[in-house]
Structure 1
């Protein structure tokens, strides 16, 4: 009887002592962390480094390295050769890569190319853009990039995810406003997509039915010889008459293209400052999108009365928008991403009391623009069908295969 009482007493006493020790240790750790933060001695990055010194975290790091060893793949080696410098240097190099080759390819394009024939390439670009946004940008925005050598920790702050979501929405709505403004300025024509000629061809056919004009080879010709063309035809390019609205659409598309390239530059700069891997994959996605985009705009300029040389020159000028966007993004990252902690009191002095800075808003903003370009601006073109059902089914299958290939490259 006495033995059972002593065992129960000592077991309860041991449990009480163990609980007290755990409580003291927990209070000590919390008090030390609050003291360091209150004194402004640790930033968020420094807290991450201190956590890596914890024995439990070091054990997790060893387990991670043992179960998922880092391998040097061919793609990683190629990226290291293409982007060997700092984030700013790599962003400028990426801008050169996405602006130079697509524009030089225009020299090989015939002047009468139909941008609607680029649907397979457009589908491939859609897969790349959406794959980069969903597989890389959004996880990086909310969780950060995984490291192959150590575990990572996410600081959960009030309003942080809310602000990041707002930045994504602002990027999306910015392109909605730009596209809507372009459509209003051109009287419902145009829009920032790759199927420009299809819309103009429809308008020409409607105009021909109403005014007695034949449409031959995409050109409007008066049925009555000797009759002068209507008052809105302001310029001739060979035998082709270019209406004022089509001419205006060409110039407005150049403005939209310049603005679009600025956002591409912002995307490249913000992604390289996030991580080299995110920057490289974003460069690949933008590059594959730029080829059909530049060809489509080139065809629209030809239809608007530009010569081939003038259209190529205009495309090179709009390519400077990407360089401008990259420089702006680098400036924001370098001077707008300081330590958000107040050195005196340790309070978060970032946006809305969080650790976010203006530089952190660039990546979610560009993710919003990518979502718009990859869905609203391009998907409606892929949904258009013709009267030949068999041909459309084959094209649809090829488009899905191309879209899956674009997304698959992002998974690599």
Structure 2
């Protein structure tokens, strides 16, 4: 069942994003992406800081080692993006960013294949992270998958708009995005078989997953939100970010209550007391 869940959620993320891009017009997509960027920022930060990292630090691994892993993960994704192998942009010509005319044509023209390769590697890494999270705990896997899907939707929709604005047909752009999204399924399946024998290292893998979420939120998403806007747009950003954080907070709170109500229920102290010895009645 774990492998089924991994395949299902990695495939679902690609289908939702591509289906949304196919169903909605480009101008409306531009408006949706702006809100989804704020939402996914809250979801990613909430998942990393409220759920994945606390779970990892509750393991028997020394906190110093996990902090070193977190630092190493942040540097790894920074270097991977420097090599243009971990792209997670959401830019397009209708998003009010200050790009010169023809920016999308340059992105999807001569460098289009490198963009698609970079997205495929990104999706592959996301699949591996989902597999590691599900192997650690199904609840952690579900929340991690939610965070990744929340981020993948604006990413894939933004890439679709870039390709369409550059002259690609809708069908061709959707096909390329679908192929890129399937890399997450490949990463999830390979991760399941390669990570399973290394259960002792799952806390480290969870920290690497958290470092990915933190890096994407801080290095890519938040800078997009840090611009002078009308107070209403700023308020909407804050609201959507708070919704993302609130969603994860409610999910984590529900999981903790469920854990206390099932397998982790508190056992009364008297339940552990030895039964009194049977006394022989006096003659």
> TM-score by structure 2 length?
0.78
Counting only pairs closer than 5 Å after superposition, residues 107-126 of structure 1 correspond to structure 2 as 107-111=22-26, 115=30, 118-126=33-41
What's the counterpart of residue 230 of structure 1?
none
Distance 2:182 2:129 in 1: 15
What's the counterpart of residue 19 of structure 2?
104
Contact 1:126 1:374 (C-alpha < 8 Å) held by counterparts: yes
Distance 1:244 1:396 in 2: 30
What's the counterpart of residue 63 of structure 2?
161
What's the counterpart of residue 80 of structure 2?
178
Contact 1:263 1:366 (C-alpha < 8 Å) held by counterparts: no
* The one of 126, 129, 143 aligned to 2:44: 129
The structure with the greater share of residues assigned to helix is: 2
Judged with a 3 Å threshold, the aligned counterparts in structure 2 of structure 1 residues 315 and 123 are, in CA distance, closer, same or farther, namely: same
What's the secondary structure of 1:376's corresponding residue? helix
What's the counterpart of residue 204 of structure 2?
361
Report the alpha carbon displacement of residue 142 of structure 1 after superposing the two structures with TM. Answer: 1.1
Judged with a 3 Å threshold, the aligned counterparts in structure 2 of structure 1 residues 170 and 401 are, in CA distance, closer, same or farther, namely: same
Please say if 1:202 is aligned against 2:99: yes
Counting only pairs closer than 5 Å after superposition, residues 48-127 of structure 1 correspond to structure 2 as 85=1, 87-111=2-26, 115=30, 118-127=33-42
Please say if 1:329 is aligned against 2:191: yes
Report the alpha carbon displacement of residue 98 of structure 1 after superposing the two structures with TM. Answer: 1.7
5+ residue gaps, structure 1: 1-84, 145-154, 184-190, 205-218, 221-241, 338-355, 387-391
5+ residue gaps, structure 2: 251-283
> TM-score by structure 1 length?
0.55
What's the counterpart of residue 372 of structure 1?
215
Counting only pairs closer than 5 Å after superposition, residues 214-363 of structure 1 correspond to structure 2 as 247-337=109-199, 356-357=200-201, 359-363=202-206
| RMSD, matched Cα | 2.7
Report the alpha carbon displacement of residue 384 of structure 1 after superposing the two structures with TM. Answer: 2.3
| Structure of higher RCO (CA pairs closer than 8 Å, 6+ residues apart) | 2
Judged with a 3 Å threshold, the aligned counterparts in structure 2 of structure 1 residues 181 and 250 are, in CA distance, closer, same or farther, namely: same
The structure with the greater share of residues assigned to strand is: 1
Report the alpha carbon displacement of residue 267 of structure 1 after superposing the two structures with TM. Answer: 1.9
Contact 2:108 2:163 (C-alpha < 8 Å) held by counterparts: no
Higher Cα radius of gyration: 1
* The one of 88, 92, 96 aligned to 1:192: 88
Deviation track 1:100-143 (CA, whole Å, cap 9, x = no partner) reads 22222221132466647622221011101110111110011111
* The one of 395, 402, 410 aligned to 2:240: 402
Contact 1:174 1:369 (C-alpha < 8 Å) held by counterparts: no
